Every structure is written in C-alpha cells, then in structure tokens.
Amino acid sequence: MYVQPVEETIATLQGVGLDLSLVVREDEWQGRAAYVVGDENRQFWIDKEDLLFLRLLLKNPNTGAEREILFDGQRVSEVGSRRSIAAAKLGRRKQNVGC
C-alpha cells in the first residue's frame, strides 16, 4: 500500500466498498490521533502524524456481523468478527497473517 501508485490504492479501497468521498473525521486510536474515512458500516483509520493505515472496520448492514482488521507494523490481525469470537470461545488463538 505504501509503495504502490495512489490510483491502485484507491481502486483497492473502493473494491471493498469504501466510499472515499465520505467526510473524514478525526478520532483517537490507542492514544494517537487518527483520521477516519467511511461510514458506520465501512471505515478505515489512518494515523494522523505518520499517515499509516491502522485499522479497517466492516459491518454487514443486513446481518450486523462486524469485522475489525488491525494493521500493526508488518502484521495484520483480524479481531472482533463472529468467527474469531467463536474461535476464542473454543480456546483457539487469534491468528496473525504477515503482510
């Protein structure tokens, strides 16, 4: 994402249903200022100072199922989905996927 052309990044974000024309708001994530782009169903968070991708929130408006994908350095972690919550109840560990 950081070394590819801007147009490719925009196409990727739009491909997962993110509306980049929505109002950007400011918020805080883990004690750091962040920009939030999107609506209540699909949004991504960018670190305000470093401009690094922090998290992606996806909600299915029909079922209410939610997914949160966190970007931490070289790791991507999916948390908060019904599937990962069920797996946690079964004693399974959250899996990290390398970028």
- DSSP H helical segments within 5-67, as ranges? 6-15
Residue 99 — very low, low, confident or very high, per pLDDT cuts 50/70/90?
A: very low
User: CB pairs under 8 A, 24+ apart, for 25-34?
Assistant: 29/54, 29/55
Domain that holds residue 66: 6-98
Q: Is residue 1 part of a domain?
A: no
Q: Is residue 18 part of a domain?
A: yes
Residue 26 — very low, low, confident or very high, per pLDDT cuts 50/70/90?
A: very high
Q: Is residue 89 part of a domain?
A: yes
Number of domains the chain is built from? 1
* pTM (2 d.p.): 0.63
Report whether pLDDT(86) > 60.
Answer: no
